[in-house]
Amino acid sequence: MVHPPQRTSLRTSLSGPALVRLLARLGETEVQASPQPLADRLSQWLGWTDAIALSTVLSAPAPAVAGGAPANGDDEAQRCLSLRSTLSKAIALDGVLAPAKARRGGAYGHAHARASQQPAPPAQAPETDADYAVFRQCYLALQQKMETDIGDLRGRLRSRLAAVSPAMAKLATLDAAMERSLAARERSLLGAVPGLLGAHFERLRKAAREAAAREAAAREAQPAADDATGAESAERTQQAEDVATSGATATVQASPIGTAASLAWLDAFRKDVQSVLLAELDVRFQPVEGLLAALRAR
């Protein structure tokens, strides 16, 4: 059985989002928390036009509130829970990210079909190799779904806040300005995640191929070692080991990884991708949670 490469212990002082800590671990990178205050770091993300827009919102008087029934945050809280559950299930049931055993038996495909009301895909044969482009496209599609659905919910919460009171209406206006100002930076940072996962994918695949080559060399060398006697046999054994090692390495590099090794490292990678997506979902939901808290505490 092939195990993922051992990851070095990272001495970090990070206490931020789980997404940052997870990416640092998967990238085998030591990351230190920034000594700068949050306000200083945030200012580096804003251009001068963004700063003027935010200053205008902060200095403007609170907008008038149209009369109407006071907002109730309970229904919006349920809406938030429902969307979060839907997005989490989309990540958990995605066919590309399903474990190899479930993919082979079609379990995830049928579960996903029931959730999406789509026909279940046919059961797939065991995978022997993989192309990261498939995982990258999957990640980008789920990112886009999160951005669109959470963005719509965030806009809805702002509309509800705007009807509560002048102070809440100003908060909604400020949140809209912040979203516009930070959108490009957010897309740039989160858009780099698939590239980081791609490097992780290559490390796991390389480790699996090296392990498969060692196992193949050991199997080829064993019969020769059992028959070897004396100096002549020792020489033949060495030659057999050299041939077996070079041949096994060439075979592994030129052909797919053995099935057992493939299932092990790919399942480990799929689980890591799902963990990163769920951590990104947490980050993307933070503004929504803030708006919801304001709505329910009116």
Residue 281 forms part of a structural domain = yes
Q: What is the pLDDT of residues 50-63, one digit of tens each?
A: 888 888 888 888 77
Residue 144 forms part of a structural domain = yes
Total domains present in the chain? 1
Residue 7's pLDDT is 44
CA dist 108 and 151 (Å) reads 28
Residue 268 forms part of a structural domain = yes
Query: Quick one: what percent of the chain has pLDDT higher than 90?
Result: 41
Task: State the Cα angle at 132 between 130 and 135, rounded to 5°.
Answer: 100
Q: What is the pLDDT of residues 100-155, one digit of tens each?
A: 676 655 545 544 544 444 444 444 434 545 789 999 999 999 999 999 999 999 99
Query: Widest CA span of the chain, in angstroms?
Result: 100
Residue 53 forms part of a structural domain = yes
Residue 273 forms part of a structural domain = yes
Q: What is the pLDDT of residues 185-217, one digit of tens each?
A: 999 999 999 999 999 999 999 998 888 888 888
Could you tell me the residue range of the domain that residue 62 belongs to? 18-204+258-296
Find, among 82, 71, 77, the residue nearest to 293 by Cα: 77
Residue 111 forms part of a structural domain = yes
Residue 185 forms part of a structural domain = yes
pTM for this entry: 0.74
Residue 210 forms part of a structural domain = no
CA dist 112 and 4 (Å) reads 28
